[in-house]
Amino acid sequence: MRFLIAAGPVLSILISFEIQAQGADIVVSTSTRDSSPILATQSAKIITKADIERGSYVSLLDVLQKETSFRAPTDSTGAQRSASLDLRGFGETAGFNTQILIDGISFKNPTLEAPNLALIPLATVEQIEILRSSSGTLYGNGAGGGVINIITTPKSYDRNQYQFTTGSFGKSAISSHHYLPSSSVSVTADLAKNTDNGYRYFNDSNLTFGKIGLGFDQSEITHSRVLDQRNSAGSTTESIISNDRKDSAIADRSYINYRESITQLKHRGGLNGAEADIAVTHRQSDQTGAYVSYGPIQQHLDLVSINSKMVAQLDPNARTEGGWLFGADLSSGRYSSGYFSGVRKQYTTDFYGQVKRPFKNSLITTGGRIAYVKDTMHNGFIHENTLTSYEIGVTKKWDDFQIYGRIDQNFRYASLDEQSTSGDPVKPQIGRSFEIGTRFPNGLIDAFIVNNSDEILFDPSDTSQSNFGSNINVESTTRIGGSIEFNFDLTDSQELMTRVQHLDTKITAGNFNGSRVPGVSPWQATLSLKSNWSSALNTEIIHQFFSGAHPISDYDNSMSPQNTYNETRFNVSYLMSELMISMGINNLFDVDRDTYVYDNYGTIKRTPAEPRSFTLTFRYIPE
């Protein structure tokens, strides 16, 4: 669960701007949506609404995995509700080291639960921006592994829309978007209902979502509620899977009712020649249910935050000028759980800034952040830390060719349920990264190195905090990686894209010195072919390769890497002015594979992937 409360006179100024190429110049322009800063000194990928519709996907996680070459390690329940895209080789902790934004507002938790992407109906998603780079200055805590910004249907989307998806294993999704304009206020309403019987026994889910928005010129207020009722089969033993891949051990099962509500007020305006946004958000979630083997689940999380954006050009009348930003974040979170009595609280205060200046057809970026965090346990035990991050970047451009380099320091502090109520607290994780790259019309090449000190991990064999394991600091880890991406126009109607990434992840100090980070595939690759047979008919074939990864939680690498596999997806779509029909076939060649978890009893548990399946989507937008 997650929750961030920004209480009192909370002011957070998040300055956001995009660097765009126009001819031979570098132009700074304000974003027209709640967008992450797509910086000229960083590698970004944009997944559009058309990409999502063409794929006939049914979940955000499905889109993120198929539209990129990055892996999403599963959580221990096998439901992939809290799985997150792993952009920089963090494995099972990717969800805590990747900043997730919804319309530019952080979706992260002050607890160990990764953001639940299943709570965001895909029909409401307008665009996804993926920043494959450490971003500690702009995004603060937990952005060392990259940023994913999910932009939902904007208030300016002034047409009604109705969508229905059906598929294998009882999948269905029905949604509607309604827009009612008037002279002074516009009203939007989104409704969605998703159900899934699941490929495995005891793995069904039922999600209900509703959102309403009111727009007043430059202001907007929205309120959304979601109920996710699901059963999770969980990971299970090899003997059970070999007998029936649909089955699971009874003790590994869990069920849960997850309720969440989000209320948000936004305002956009000008301030001394700059463009500024402000957003006040209240988020609340409750979980009730049970793990069959461990007992009941009862958690509550509450969050209020105030965020604002500001962007200014040094010279608004010049085409090649840079810009500046300054910001402040303040937050306060409350968390309670059935596993302990009382309430745990987290307060944070951040100040940060960034400046971009042109120099001889180059753009130089400098920025820094200082953050204060205070955790108070239910017994009064207090942890406090002051942290800093910085960035320095340079981009050089020659016509359509760019080369860039940057250094970055970032941090992640322990979540409320990582901290112990006594003894030594979990120290903050400090990361330092260096990256270089080049972009050209047909692709990009980039490379990076990340060194983390005191990286925060969960060690199931450490019983200093509990019999089930402990949260620990690992003195030093290193990640070295690089990727190559090319796009080719084979014909006027066919485009071929290929991307290959390599990651070398090592624990370089402590008890696990010399081990590879578990849950990380050293080699990841994607090959896709998009064909436009007519103005309406399109097809796409996506083939992905993931090399073997050590089982999750196997930090001493006692188990050999497993789970090397290839997977192929086929999509076909037919788009007319008002109607769209699309079909997707996932795991086209029915590849038999598992995700592996190494539990604290020394047992390998497996989560079998879904076999070949299909989805069929109909979308109707009346004129």
Read off the pLDDT of residues 202-244 as tens digits, 9 standing for 90 and up. Answer: 999 999 999 999 988 888 999 999 999 999 998 888 889 889 9
Q: Measure the CA–CA gap between 532 and 542, rounded to whole angstroms.
A: 15
Residue 13 confidence class, pLDDT cut points 50, 70, 90: very low
Q: State residue 77's pLDDT score.
A: 60
199 in Cβ contact with 610 (< 8 Å): yes
- Mean pLDDT across 188-195: 92
What are the DSSP calls for 138-175, one per residue?
HH-TT-TT-EEEEEE--TT--S-EEEEEEEGGG-EEEE
Q: Each residue of 377-425: pLDDT tens digit? A: 888 889 999 999 999 999 998 888 889 999 999 999 998 888 877 767 8
- Range of weakest confidence among 110-124, 139-153, 173-187, 328-342: 110-124
Q: Measure the CA–CA gap between 256 and 40, rounded to whole angstroms.
A: 43
Q: Among 490, 413, 412, 409, which residue's Cα sits nearest to residue 451? A: 409
Pick the CATH number of 17-620 from 3.30.1360.30, 2.40.170.20, 2.60.40.10, 1.10.1040.10: 2.40.170.20
Beta-ladder partners of 288: 257, 298
- The answer, yes or no, to whether residue 26 has pLDDT greater than 60, is no
Pairing of strands 565-575, 579-586: antiparallel
| Summary mean pLDDT of the chain | 84
Tell me the pTM: 0.87
- The answer, yes or no, to whether residue 29 has pLDDT greater than 70, is no
Q: Measure the CA–CA gap between 200 and 80, rounded to whole angstroms.
A: 13
Q: Each residue of 298-316: pLDDT tens digit? A: 999 998 888 877 777 665 4
Q: Among 44, 50, 54, which residue's Cα sits nearest to residue 541? A: 54
Q: State residue 74's pLDDT score.
A: 63
- Mean pLDDT across 341-356: 89
CA 48, chain centre distance (Å): 16
Rg (CA), the chain: 23
Q: State residue 445's pLDDT score.
A: 95
Residue 41 confidence class, pLDDT cut points 50, 70, 90: low
Q: Each residue of 459-515: pLDDT tens digit? A: 877 777 776 778 889 999 999 999 999 999 999 999 999 999 999 999 999 889 999
Beta-ladder partners of 383: 375
Three-class SS of 230-279 = EEECCCECHHHHHHCCCCCCHHHCEEEEEEEEEEEEEEEEEECCEEEEEE
Three-class SS of 567-603 = EEEEEEEEECCCEEEEEEEECCCCCCCEEEEECCCCC
Q: Each residue of 259-285: pLDDT tens digit? A: 999 999 988 887 777 788 888 899 999
Question: What does the angle CA 62 – CA 64 – CA 46 come to, to the nearest 5 degrees?
Answer: 140
CA atoms within 13 A on the CB side of 212: 3
Type of residue found at 257:
N
Q: What are the extents of the domains in the chain?
A: 17-620
Residue 328 confidence class, pLDDT cut points 50, 70, 90: confident
Write the CA distances from 132 to 204, 354, 357, integer angstroms: 33, 19, 23
Q: Measure the CA–CA gap between 175 and 298, rounded to whole angstroms.
A: 30
